A and B are shown apart, each in its own frame.
Chain A
């Protein structure tokens, strides 16, 4: 008896009720949304009750045009290797003060993925053992994957910024 998307939907609805919503099944993967403070509970439920043993990936999407409460989305994608079912869910976070609970306690591999989300989007993961920048340099003060940052680097020194309308705003003066 394999696990199907219908069973996953049924069990999640029974467990989380109104807090889980927007089930879709585009391109063959079940996706849903859950209230932002239920992310750890949802990952734990999926892992322990439904056999989603593998955290495939975790990353952030920035939606600056959404309401303030829904400007950042963290996507969790899990995979059940026994029944070969994949599922992903999103939580939406506040645009000014994005904070979420860390899932590193459940999946150690979330450690660097959450650090990456912090590094590029400034998401604060409460309970993360070592939340600091990972790919960018520590002196950086901005979160470069946010949509308000243009692609071109603002702190190049090989150009005279006065002629290009840029000021070096991306790094700490020290």
Chain B
């Protein structure tokens, strides 16, 4: 273990810079420790900042405060138990993570999902995208001083959670879906709640946009703050709304359609300058596009089964497990990992709330993955944060972090 590098501590590194600057022009730089638990950063992010007054000269992010070793745990868990790990990555839009994981497993096993289940998955994933973007944009407004807009839309996140509850019983960490489809069809109450949401939400969201989008203070705080060019964004591995705000129309839903996204008409909004305001606008427009996708899916929702007929992988309903021998045997086989799993390496990605959420699954034919790698969009684009805040004001750094929508759970996995 002689190769372990002795890292220079951040304080040592900055102390040299401070002395140097003091000798040069007598200015007094200071070190500011922002985080790990600062209320304005919405999550566990530590940044040690080298400040010249209000201006940031240099920054050193430290991540991993809520690292839970999901990739290691996943190497010891059968497929059904990995779903709960994916919930806890981007917890603002866990259904997308859940279905992304199931689609990876289905790709490996070669399971064909029926149309109705695919459409229902699309509805749930788009609801998740709405709640994810809603959180990001309304909190961005709070960070710039507009609390009211947040209160207008937050109850609609609750209404989305109530729709999740109708399907899976959980709200935040949903653990939704099964291999081959869904655990149950969306109930009548669920559809009623969904239709009510579709009717009420646009009214409130229009109010939110009217309050915030053209607000003088908001625009002053956001325009030209944290700009990133398209070339740089690609080099830094941006995906999702943050990349599209820079003007690149890459969207996994279009590039490699999954779960019948090819059946729906929708547009990919792009920005121009990649600044905070563009990111805000792209997310807002994506919410409208998601609403349109949900409406189309509801209109075209086919009848039929809500899960594939794959008794080897689809957990039988609980009441059958208690009453019928066959269901009990299948349940036992699935839980104990006695079902055939092919060897192979498969990559599957979905458009998560923050970008391309990828699952790379290496299977050696046993009940647990040999290796499971999560391509977490936050982890990859958060590297650019240091570059984006350098030279800016401290208050801008908070706004940029908020608009990038870095979710600590996804960042640290």
Residues of A within 8 A of B (CB): 26-27, 29, 31, 53-57, 59, 61-62, 75, 77, 81, 84, 86, 88, 107-109, 111-113, 116, 120, 122, 124, 131-138, 141, 144-145, 151
Contact = CB atoms under 8 A, between A and B. Distances in A.
B345 A135 contact: no
Given A108-B383, A135-B67, A136-B67, A55 B237 contact: yes
A111 to B, nearest CB: 6
B234 A53 contact: yes
A170 B83 CA distance: 29
Interface of B is mostly: mixed
A173 to B, nearest CB: 13
A81 B250 contact: yes
A172 to B, nearest CB: 9
Interface in B346-368: 346-347, 349, 356, 358, 360, 362
Contacts of A138: 7
B234 A27 contact: no
Contact of A134 (B4, B63, B346, B381): B63
A138 B60 CA distance: 15
A145 B76 CA distance: 12
A11 to B, nearest CB: 22
Contact of A57 (B63, B69, B346, B373): B373
B375 A56 contact: yes
Contact of A151 (B72, B370, B371, B380): B72
A124 B3 contact: yes
A145 B63 contact: no
A151 B7 contact: no
B383 A111 contact: yes
Interface centre among B64, B76, B237 (most CB of A within 10 A): B237
Given A57-B375, A134-B63, A27 B7 contact: no
A75 B371 CA distance: 12
Contacts of A116: 379
Contacts of A132: 5, 7
A107 B7 contact: no
Nearest to A124: B3
Given A132-B7, A135-B64, A59 B373 contact: yes
Given A61-B371, A135-B63, A109 B237 contact: yes
18 contacts: A26-B344, A26-B346, A27-B346, A27-B347, A31-B345, A61-B370, A61-B371, A77-B360, A109-B236, A109-B237, A112-B379, A113-B380, A122-B3, A132-B7, A134-B64, A135-B64, A145-B71, A151-B72
A141 B360 contact: no
A112 B383 contact: yes
Contacts of A131: 5
Interface in B227-243: 234-237
A94 to B, nearest CB: 13
B380 A109 contact: yes
Interface string B69-104: 101110110000000000000000000000000000
Contact of B237 (A75, A107, A120, A145): A107
Nearest to A135: B64
A121 to B, nearest CB: 11
A26 B345 contact: yes
A123 B371 CA distance: 17
B360 A57 contact: yes
Contacts of A26: 344-346
Contacts of B346: 26-27
Contact of A144 (B69, B236, B362): B69
B236 A108 contact: yes
A27 B72 CA distance: 24
B4 A141 contact: yes
